[in-house]
Amino acid sequence: MRCGLKKAQSGVVLFIALIVLVAMSLAGIALMRQVDTGTLVAGNLAFRQGAMHVGDLGVEAARSWLQGQSSTALYNDNAAAGYHAGWAQNVVLVGTASGGQVPFDWETAVEVTSPAPPAGYQVRYVIHRLCASAGDPAAITCVQAAGSGTGVGGGTRGAAAFGQMAIQVPAGALYRVTVRVVGPRNSTSFVQAVLQ
């Protein structure tokens, strides 16, 4: 009778061991996929962060161009320099255009070549003056940099005042700089800055 019990139990342990081995293999595969996914996400975030840092080149190039222009030269568009005297309300810079909007063609934007971006990066920028249309900012609707405080001597646009002599801060139109950076693995980042 004892011989019969031994024969019946000898195959069960092998069957259970195979089931445990399959379960451990599946757990190992799932762990490897999770680590691979984490590595991909970290790599993509690093590429995106790198592209955003390179975007500063575009902002600085646009700022330098703006500083080199006379105030009257900024009254009208300059397509070759990527400058638009109006805020282009119906143009979509980032995302999908809908309902009468027009997507912006980034191939027409100014490419930054000096200083040269790091290898594998392409930096392009466009400047929009935050005005409703071209022309003198004093005669049209513009978003202007001006404070709201009032000093002892009168309106100072938020500037400091000493006695009756207030420090006057000139109001001027603001400029929106939008930079697109295309980096390694086709990572694309957009950076915007508002300049005065």
**Boundaries of every domain in the chain:** 2-130+174-195
**9-38 burial string, b = 16+ CB within 10 Å, else e?**
eeeeeeeeeeeeeeeeeeeeeeeeeeeeee
Regarding beta strands 102-103 and 91-92, do their DSSP bridges make them parallel or antiparallel, or are they unpaired? parallel
* DSSP for residue 68: T
pLDDT in tens, 24-64: 999 988 888 877 777 777 766 776 666 777 888 889 999 99
- What pTM, to 2 d.p., does this model score? 0.64
Q: Which two tokens stand for residue 117?
A: 């971006």
